[in-house]
Amino acid sequence: MTLITVRPEGLYCEQGDFFIDPWKPVDRALITHAHSDHARSGSQHYMATKISEGILQKRLGDRTDLQGVEYSQRIKLGNTWVSFHPAGHVLGSAQIRVECGDDVWVVSGDYKRGYDPTCESFEVVPCNTFITEATFGLPIYRWDTGAETCREIHQWWQSDPERPSLLFCYAFGKAQRVLSELRQFTDKPVYVHGAVHVLTEIYRQVGVEMVKTIPVSEMPRSYKFAGDLVLAPPSAHRSTWMKRFSHPQTAFASGWMAVRGARRRRGYERGFVLSDHADWQGLMQTVQQAQAKTIYVTHGQTDVVSRYLRETYALNAMPLKTLFEGEGDIE
């Protein structure tokens, strides 16, 4: 029995009559998390974790028909039982477990295994079939802890008290993780772009602790931001918004910074390796712990990971073509 198939609208479960993270409007959409490649507007009914409701309503609109559920809560949909389990990716992110009879599938969405103070840690969910991402599915991708990387970010910020320090990172998830980890190293306020500010306030509303933030827009035009840290989304880099700052030092926080030359190609002075996706070790660990005999691999290094799982662990592993983007310029 195949519980999840790929249709033109997205991943579909016929037994429950629902889609998971559809890329076209459908009647019922179950959403793993609120990044724009997984949560798209236009569907009639949505279901997601309760703690992600604020972010999703911001992304999809206040009038969206959205049902929030608790982690591990079992919901009957058609002939299936569905539940959401922590994915450790961003606030409210979930793996979706689909059970029909003796068959259990898990759609992981995006996930990471490292500790993140802004979201629930990843939960291993045993299953028969596991759909995994492979954004960073090469052995070269291995992450330090978020605390270690944010210590480096703090040291970089403090290294030049005369210039603004502009750190570019994704406005949803990455920015809040940096702001939370920085609490270990400073009590100074951090200035933020408007796109970061809106989402950061939603994190605060659900109790996530971060350093104090001040929107750049609230500061007088004469303010120089000398010695200050400013967080902004990648879209702000080289935009007219940058005119607020005189000769800033710039950096980008992303898993892609693990690749030599990526920082230079993107035009930043410094790169910090910080990802909200699993690294190679995390991917391999997760597949083994899930105990699934069949693995579908989506977005990223799908061929590499599938072949490795077949040859090393004798698993029935194969690529699954979707429209998910992985760690792109998602804001």
Predicted local distance difference test score (pLDDT) of residue 325: 77
Q: How many domains does the chain have?
A: 2
Helix H or strand E encompassing 307: helix 302-313
What CA–CA distance (Å, rounded) separates 214 from 176?
13
Cα 308 to Cα 230: distance, rounded to the nearest angstrom? 41
Q: Quick one: 183 and 285 in the same domain?
A: no
| 52 within some domain | yes
Residue 253's CATH number: 3.40.50
Residue 1's pLDDT is: 72
Q: Which of 59, 52, 55 minimizes the C-alpha distance to 87?
A: 52
Structure tokens at 131: 């759909």
For residues 15 and 122, membership in a common domain is answered with: yes
Q: How buried is residue 270: exposed, middle or buried, by Cβ count under 10 Å (0-12/13-18/19+)?
A: middle
Of the candidates 32, 222, 24, 224, which has an alpha carbon nearest to the alpha carbon of residue 110?
32
- Supply 171's token pair: 């406005």
**10-residue averages of pLDDT along the chain (331 residues):** 94 98 98 96 98 96 95 98 98 98 97 98 98 97 98 98 97 98 98 98 98 98 97 94 96 93 79 97 98 96 97 97 71 40
pLDDT of amino acid 198 = 97
Asked, for residue 281, whether it belongs to a domain, the answer is: yes
Q: In this structure, are 76 and 185 located in the same domain?
A: no
Alpha-carbon torsion (134, 11, 94, 151), positive or negative: positive
Closest CA to 289 of 53, 56, 122: 122
The 10 Å CB-count burial string (b at 16+, else e) for 176-213 is bbbbbbbeebeeeebbbbebbbebbebbeeeebebbeb
- Domain presence at residue 174: yes
CA distance 134 to 138: 8
Q: What is the pLDDT of residue 329?
A: 46
The whole domain housing 251 covers: 146-272
* Alpha-carbon span 106 to 292, nearest angstrom: 9
